[in-house]
Homo-oligomer: A and B are copies of this chain.
Amino acid sequence: MSYQAKHVLQESEVVVGYTTYIELIQDIIAPHQTVIRSHMKKEVERALEALEEAKAGKVVSVISSGDAGIYGMAGLILELLYKNNLEEYIEVEIVPGISAVQAAAARLGAPLMHDFACISLSDLLTPWQTIVKRIHHAAQGDFVIVLYNPKSKKRIEQIQEAVDILLQYKKTDTPVGIVKSAYREGEEVHISSLESLLEHEIDMFTTIIIGNQSTFMNKTHMITPRGYNIHE
């Protein structure tokens, strides 16, 4: 957590968030602050509740895990503000945080030293064909590829199809990092290869990073060279 995030939270009169994330910041919340908890997949309701509080003149924090600006709550808040013509009445500040990809990368070593593409495999809000197209282009462009939301209890085929597509362009032994719950309880970090990726346990708390042509593994880390000449 950043100093800015903690400061903003402490200055808020109302804190709105998904139950699990509220629990993670329980220690920071003071008794005089109003806490509004809501369930998963209730993002729109949660954002609307936050706007109602803000319309009533309250200083409101909306909690997003990782970075609110990367697949987070920032967009929904701004969209609803726009739709309801509230842009000029309610001031919004986006506070950046550590996204899942950065936490995963830090645990794996240095996989993101070169150009990378982030793709969410969740087709709840995006047509699967759009996602497929992006996987093809990210692989053809030799990007390091980060997969968010690779799998859930109900969504199990997307990661299999993604690996099939990636294997059309990338070598079977391309290094792959698999990180579950980075920096949180139950953290698991595995370095594997593209052909063995599916042998690992993958769930909705897992972030997957697939190397580019230059990515390599040493004994303990996954590294994508930046290109410095260190061999002179």
Contact A110 to B228, CB < 8 A, known contacts A130-B142, A223-B82: no
In the complex the two chains form, is B125's CB within 8 Å of A133's CB? no
In the complex the two chains form, is B228's CB within 8 Å of A125's CB? yes
In the complex the two chains form, is B142's CB within 8 Å of A78's CB? no
**Is A162 at the interface (CB under 8 A from chain B)?**
no
Cβ–Cβ < 8 Å partners of A119 in chain B: 115
In the complex the two chains form, is A110's CB within 8 Å of B75's CB? yes
- B-facing residues in A1-46 (Cβ within 8 Å): 1-3, 6, 43-44
Cβ–Cβ < 8 Å partners of A125 in chain B: 226-228
Cβ–Cβ < 8 Å partners of A223 in chain B: 75, 78-79, 82
In the complex the two chains form, is B120's CB within 8 Å of A117's CB? no
**Is A207 at the interface (CB under 8 A from chain B)?**
no
| Given A114-B126, A133-B141, 6 new contacts (CB under 8 A) | A69-B102, A69-B105, A77-B110, A78-B218, A115-B131, A117-B117
Closest A-B pairs by Cβ, 4 of them = A125-B227, A137-B141, A75-B113, A75-B110
13 residue pairs A–B, Cβ–Cβ below 8 Å: A44-B228, A71-B113, A74-B110, A76-B113, A78-B221, A79-B225, A87-B218, A87-B219, A87-B221, A96-B102, A117-B117, A117-B143, A137-B137
